[in-house]
């Protein structure tokens, strides 16, 4: 099936596309991935793609925070035909879909879904790019080797991504992990860690690190990186998180870099217009305004 997707809704300001022949290269392509089978606490991120898209209709074309119109060209290709209960198969379908998009030089913008799907997305990206830095915003490291006996899970996804042979993993906003994950970080020189306290107190160090990146970048945002006051409906709410302003400052400082893929995962809103989906949508809206 073409792009393996169906179309329940479209993100605000996305361009119409009657045929793939009209597509403009080097634009962004949104794909929703309504898959939450590996969620270990609250489920519901399968509704993320629809609630995040719906929330986008509350924003204006002019992005006040950046004094700029959202005139980036992007398309919304709908939702992936996921295989509930099967992370590996779902990731394979996502990888194939991303390869299909890359034939048209379209960069993937993924709306999750639980974090396990980033594996399929990054694997798809690595078919075209040998060098890749993953910038990962999250309350959690997601570096466990297994979670409840599972190798492919939202708690192991960055470990599996690390095994794919990326250049570097930069984690920002971390405030929850296991001893095993801490040891793994200490034993791997190509993982850099910034906690949520670093975001608030040592932000200059983060900006220096981001400025040094000289490879293409994949940006993965787990919405639980935000404080649960402004993003309560996530799979694993974790106190003392960061703000939308912090995310905007990170995005601004990546503006001259080559971002070639983006995902925003773990939005588990169960009703339209809730604050978690609005803030998730705001991050995508800001991202698209800047890139």
| Binding interface with Mn ion (CB under 5 A) | 138-140, 222, 224
Closest distance between Mn ion and the C-beta of residue 138, in Å? 4
Closest distance between Mn ion and the C-beta of residue 142, in Å? 6
Closest distance between Mn ion and the C-beta of residue 113, in Å? 13
Closest distance between Mn ion and the C-beta of residue 266, in Å? 6
Give the residue with the Cβ less far from Mn ion, 138 or 227.
138
Give the residue with the Cβ less far from Mn ion, 76 or 138.
138
Closest distance between Mn ion and the C-beta of residue 260, in Å? 23
Which 3-state string (H, E, C) describes the chain?
CHHHEECCCCCCCCCCCCCHHHCCCCCEEEEEECCCCCCCCCCCHHHHHHHHHHHHHHCCCEEHHHCEECCCCEEEEEEECCCCCCHHHHHHHHHHHHHHHHHCCCEEEEEECCHHHHHHHHHHHHCCCCCCEEEEECCECCCCCCECCECCCCCCHHHHHHHCCCCEEEEEEECECCHHHHHHHHCCCCEEEEEHHHHHHCHHHHHHHHHHCCCCEEEEEEHHHECCCCCCCECCCCCCCECHHHHHHHHHCCCCCCEEEEEEECECCCCCCCHHHHHHHHHHHHHHHHC
Give the residue with the Cβ less far from Mn ion, 224 or 263.
224
């Amino acid at each position: 099936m073409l792009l393996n997707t169906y179309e329940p809704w479209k993100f605000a300001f996305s361009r119409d596309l009657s045929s793939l022949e009209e597509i403009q290269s080097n634009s962004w392509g949104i794909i929703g991935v309504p898959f939450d089978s590996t969620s270990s606490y609250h489920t519901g991120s399968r509704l993320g793609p629809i609630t995040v898209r719906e929330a986008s209709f509350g924003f204006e074309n002019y992005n006040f925070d950046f004094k700029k119109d959202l005139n980036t060209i992007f398309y919304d290709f709908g939702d992936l035909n996921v295989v509930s209960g099967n992370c590996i198969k779902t990731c394979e379908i996502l990888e194939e879909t991303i390869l299909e998009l890359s034939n048209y030089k379209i960069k993937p913008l993924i709306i999750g879904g639980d974090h396990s799907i980033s594996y399929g997305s990054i694997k798809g990206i690595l078919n075209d790019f040998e060098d890749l830095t993953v910038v990962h915003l999250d309350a959690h490291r997601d570096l466990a080797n297994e979670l409840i006996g599972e190798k492919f899970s939202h708690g192991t996804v960055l470990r599996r991504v690390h095994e794919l042979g990326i250049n570097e993993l930069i984690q920002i906003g971390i405030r929850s992990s296991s001893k095993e994950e801490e040891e793994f970080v200490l034993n791997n020189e190509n993982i850099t860690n910034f906690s949520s306290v670093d975001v608030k107190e040592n932000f200059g160090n983060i900006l220096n690190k981001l400025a040094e990146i000289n490879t293409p970048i994949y940006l993965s945002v787990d919405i639980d990186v935000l404080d649960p006051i402004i993003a309560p409906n996530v799979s694993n709410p974790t106190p003392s998180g960061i703000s939308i302003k912090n995310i905007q400052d990170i995005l601004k400082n990546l503006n001259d870099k080559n971002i070639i893929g983006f995902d925003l995962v773990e939005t588990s809103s169960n009703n339209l217009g809730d604050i978690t989906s609005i803030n998730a949508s705001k991050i995508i809206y800001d991202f698209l305004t800047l890139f």
